[in-house]
Chains A and B, each alone.
Chain A
Amino acid sequence: MTFGSWLALVVAIVLSAEVVRWLRHRALRHERWRRFFRHPTAAWGCGILTFLIIVAIAAPLVAPLDPIVQPDPVRLKNHAPSLTFLMGTDVFSRDVWSRFAYGARVSLGIGALGALIAVSLGSCVGAVAGYYRRWVDAILMRGVDIGLALPRIFIVLMAVALWDRLSFAWLTLVIGLTSWFATSRLVRAEVLALRERDFVVAARALGVPSSRVIFGHVLPNAAAPIIVSAALSVGNVLLLEASLSFLGIGVAPPRPSWGNMIADGAVTIYTAPWTTLFAGLAISLVVMSLNAVADGLRDALDPRQDPA
């Protein structure tokens, strides 16, 4: 660890704490944000996510070494965590902390983008199926049934067989396009109930176009389950990326992701647990933080809880 990277790390920690503090300060003035912070874990979730996002963005600053460079594969391999190597080194003598920081970019990037694709697609398909019902619903939902029944590993393996190695963009796309089925079922169920509500009937009676009814009246009222499902999706996509990388068909080494860091360290898990520990811990922390934030958001975004 160089002085520069220590400084950057400290700045990152302070900055994330500062962001949470600022949010809390704002929260005192806004009833909705106050509800968000009433969840005791929401603030922690926010802080952890902010910290990891800052680390990902500022990876070149917080990482002292190039994540791919192998400084000395003989003498520096499986070095335990120390002041020089914050998280130790792996079997190829690469600095785990540097790989962790750059891996955050890849993993969080795939997680966020993949979940964005999945939730947008799932919400649209679910809303259209639930709103139009009849044959539209029948066709879309049978498609979803098939999607849910196919093992995703199998789809990704087919993609790998077709295009050899998947680039970051393609990997994100494939993961996103195979992760929306559950969301669409959830949204459809919600929309089926909402479309019978009088305010939706009223909008139709006023001549509001169908697209506006769906996106202006129906979906905003399904926001709570969509947000929760989005948060869970990020976690799922992250885990999927990890398992694909672990199987060697995800992010191509030597580029680091939390998934292939676990894969790389798996062989030395008894002798050098730190090579897998931190990446695994990060994945769990992100998933837990997202769940906490989702719970807070669900309450915060519900106008029925606003004071009269």
Chain B
Amino acid sequence: MTAPPAPPPVAAPLVDVRDLVKHYAAERRWFGLGRPRPPVRAVDGVSFTIPSGRTLGLVGESGSGKTTVGRTMLRLQEATGGRVLFEGRDVFALDSRALRALRRRMQIVFQDPYSSLNPRMTVQETLREPLEIHGLAGTVAALLDEVGLDAVFAKRYPHELSGGQRQRVGIARALSVEPQFIVCDEPVSALDVSVQAQVLNLLADLQARRRLTYLFIAHDLAVVRHIADDVAVMYLGKIVERAPAAEIYALPRHPYTRALLSAVPEPDPKAKKNRIVLSGDVPSPAMPPPGCPFHPRCPHPLKSARCRTEVPPLREVPAGSGHLAACHYAEQPMK
């Protein structure tokens, strides 16, 4: 593996994820008495860094492990292996007290605005709870104002709000503890297009105002384009490509990224680009294919026997560019 040599003057990243692994043990056969089944490799050696104040877009389809990455980073699920450093401190080594303190620094915004708020608590109760627990001076009114909601919503229950309004409350709840880092787990996927734009703009404004750092998880490369500085693409628990946003959209070096890009339906009837429609389904993460995990669906013309046997490492192509791709043929990307 060729690690990208970071130039010395660059400050340490806020978030540093190293070789993160999360396997789910499967039930043994024969009612727990037989051989164990292979574990589900939800996340299989994922590494990335996010500098302070920047946004990494993490893109993948269902089953790629992108949500698990976000949750294990916040220790909402225990990781199987690897390390997560937040400001240089190992998150997985913290005791429960230090973890409580860390909860204030790292937060999460969820995808489904219908399940992310407690249906039995008013907006006010939802927002006041974290303020109380951490003894913070913030007020519910200030939080609502910051996410663009009128103060009258404080007394409402979640079911009295629209999807976009709920998502704003979810964002306000994350902001209540004044975090530096927020995992945005598909925050706009469940919203209507016009509301989606409102929420994306809100997230961008908050980032600028509060110097926030985001891990923005999405299944859609189009949404990520509007918020991310860097983009990482996941497939079957692994990052297959990672690059600055401008790079990855201009010249995707992994055939999967290329296919994802071309699969985004463009709102332009004249855009008759060379659409790549992948065949087949995503394989089960319990039994990933040998070699390159993408090879059974890969449309790359140079695909060879090597792809079926040898796992391509995530390497920098071309050297020194900061553009990483896990493809044996990254030098000759698909057009």
Contact = CB atoms under 8 A, between A and B. Distances in A.
Interface string B104-118: 101110111001111
A205 interface: yes
Interface string B150-181: 00000001011000000000100100110000
A198 B115 contact: yes
Contacts of A209: 133
Contact of A204 (B76, B116, B117, B129): B76
Contact of B120 (A203, A206, A207, A303): A303
Interface string A205-217: 1111100100011
A303 B112 contact: no
B157 A206 contact: no
Contacts of B157: 303, 306
Interface string A180-222: 0000000000000000011101111111110010001100110
A304 interface: yes
Contact of B173 (A197, A206, A207): A206
Nearest to A202: B116
Contacts of A203: 118, 129
Contact of B115 (A199, A303, A306): A199
B74 interface: yes
Contacts of B118: 199, 203, 217, 220-221
B82 to A, nearest CB: 20
A198 B74 contact: no
B100 interface: yes
Nearest to B99: A207
B148 interface: no
Contacts of A223: 120
B53 to A, nearest CB: 21
Given A207-B103, A221-B118, A304-B119, A202 B173 contact: yes
A65 to B, nearest CB: 50
A142 to B, nearest CB: 14
Contacts of A308: 159-160
Interface in A249-308: 303-304, 306, 308
A205 B179 CA distance: 11
A205 B76 contact: yes
A208 B130 contact: yes
Given A198-B112, A308-B159, A205 B107 contact: yes
B115 A207 contact: no
B134 interface: yes
A201 B76 contact: yes
Interface string A225-263: 000000000000000000000000000000000000000
A133 to B, nearest CB: 12
Nearest to A205: B108
A109 to B, nearest CB: 31
Nearest to B122: A303
B110 A221 contact: no
B74 A205 contact: yes
B110 A220 contact: no
B103 A205 contact: yes
A272 B181 CA distance: 79
A306 B160 contact: yes
Given A207-B103, A207-B130, A208-B133, A202 B119 contact: no
A204 B100 CA distance: 9
Given A208-B129, A208-B133, A199 B100 contact: no
B159 A306 contact: yes
Contact of B108 (A197, A201, A212): A201
A199 B159 contact: no
Contacts of A199: 115-119
Contacts of A208: 129-130, 133
Interface string B127-138: 001100110000
B134 A207 contact: yes
B76 A197 contact: no
Contacts of B110: 198, 201-202
A306 B176 CA distance: 27
A105 to B, nearest CB: 35
Given A217-B118, A221-B120, A303-B120, A206 B133 contact: yes
A221 B133 contact: no
A206 B101 CA distance: 10
Which residue, of A197, A198, A209, has the highest number of chain B Cβ atoms within 10 A?
A198
Contacts of A198: 110-112, 115-116
Contacts of B133: 206-209, 212
Contacts of B120: 220-221, 223, 303
Interface of A: 197-199, 201-209, 212, 216-217, 220-221, 223, 303-304, 306, 308
16 contacts: A198-B110, A199-B116, A199-B117, A199-B119, A202-B110, A202-B170, A203-B118, A206-B173, A206-B177, A207-B103, A207-B104, A209-B133, A216-B129, A221-B118, A221-B119, A304-B119
Going nearest first, the 7 A-B pairs with the smallest beta carbon separation are: A207-B103, A198-B116, A198-B110, A206-B130, A199-B118, A207-B100, A198-B115
